Structure formats: structure tokens, C-alpha cells
Amino acid sequence: MVWFVYGVAIIKNQIKNQKRQRMIKRFFNSTPRELILGHDIPSPRLTGMGWLLILLYLGVPAMVIGGVLDFILQIITGQCMGVWCLFLK
């Protein structure tokens, strides 16, 4: 009885491993490029506008947070520590 249960557990584990391997292969295998009206269309990529949107989405909030922190430090310490202090002197 114990050998039967052990054998069933091994078979279930092998089936799980096979399913996992199939999922990994399906995930990493890229589909071949399709010809559209005889033309090989390149894969999607980031355009200049995409890079600009990423810069705006990540850069502007970081600059605003940095500016606010510099302003708070200036109020607390009385000394200008921000980047704009280089230009105000």
C-alpha cells in the first residue's frame, strides 16, 4: 500500500514538472515574425514620445520632491542647499 501511494505521488510530481516545463517553454519561445503583405514589420519598441513620457512620469515627480525637500531644509537651517543656490550667488 505504501509503495502504491509513493508511486502515485511520484507520478503526480512528474506531471506537475512536465506542465511547468511546458509553461516555461511557452513563455520564453518567441513567435516567428509574420510577413504582412510581404513586408517584415519590426517588433514594437519605445519611440521618442514613449521615452519623453517615461521621463515626465518619473523625472518630474523626483525633481518636485527634491525641490520641496531642499526648500524645507532651507527654512529649517536658514542656509540655501538647493541646486538653484548655485545660480543665485
Q: Tell me: the pLDDT tens digits for 2-61? A: 555 556 677 777 777 777 777 777 767 766 667 778 787 777 788 999 999 999 999 999
| Whether residue 89 has pLDDT greater than 80 | no
Residue 57, pLDDT score: 93
88 is a domain residue: no
1 is a domain residue: yes
Phi, psi of 19 (to 5 degrees): -65, -45
pTM metric for this prediction = 0.46
68 is a domain residue: no
Q: Look up residue 39 and give its three cell numbers.
A: 513586408
Phi, psi of 33 (to 5 degrees): -70, 140
Residue 1, pLDDT score: 58
27 is a domain residue: yes
Cα–Cα nearest to 70, from 51, 50, 52, 86:
86
4 is a domain residue: yes
Q: How many domains does the chain have?
A: 1
62 is a domain residue: no
13 is a domain residue: yes
CA–CA dist 7, 30 (Å, integer) = 36
Are the C-beta atoms of residues 84 and 71 closer than 8 Å to each other? no
Q: Domain range for residue 8?
A: 1-31
Whose cell is 509513493? That residue is: 6
18 is a domain residue: yes
